[in-house]
Amino acid sequence: MFEGCMPVGRGMQVLCALLLAGPVLVSVARADGPPPRGATASTSTDMAEVTAARTEMGSVLARMASTSRGARDMLRDARRRGTRSQVTCLDEALSRADVAHRGAREQVGSALVAYARGDLAFARASRARVNDLDEAQRLAAREGAACLPAPPTRERPPAGTSVRLTVDPNIAPELYP
């Protein structure tokens, strides 16, 4: 399975994977650091782009996680007080939102690895795909919100002061002729 390693069990497979992926992980970790001495202007610019991309994609993923939680909360509410069609609609919206979120996480990982290996074209394409998935998730959540049952209405008392007095006729009937 892993070239150069003889996997014995699951633990050895994980260890071999980490040993073989070590250089990739180190290069990804170095992408955040300052540019090396003697770096050219394009390398400094690339590092600034990596930092900006990492920040932007991190905030997009945080927003997407929040949107997924919101869709999940709407589905819980619909299950309590909505119709079957409303629950189905919100369930589909939540599924689309979660799929978009998972896809965005994968694209962020691909973009960071591409930045680490210096493949700016692929990294930028992955970054654009993350933004597309963010928009798709927002659209799914908006469509799900349209399926949400109306909030419960409360009967409002009439304006002004109103007093209603009811006397039980079984209490001392001889006192009230």
**pTM strictly above 0.75:** no
- The pLDDT of residue 112: 92
> Is 111 in the same domain as 63?
yes
pLDDT for 127 beyond 80: yes
Domain extent for 24: 1-30
Structure tokens given for 29? 């970790």
| Number of compact structural domains in the chain | 2
Whether residue 162 is contained in a domain is answered as no
Whether residue 164 is contained in a domain is answered as no
pLDDT in tens, 35-49: 444 433 356 668 888
Cβ of 116: how many Cβ atoms within 10 Å? 18
Label residue 174 by pLDDT band (50, 70, 90): confident
Label residue 18 by pLDDT band (50, 70, 90): very low
Whether residue 9 is contained in a domain is answered as yes
Residue 130, CA distances (Å) to 94, 133, 146, 155 in order: 18, 5, 25, 46
> Is 10 in the same domain as 54?
no
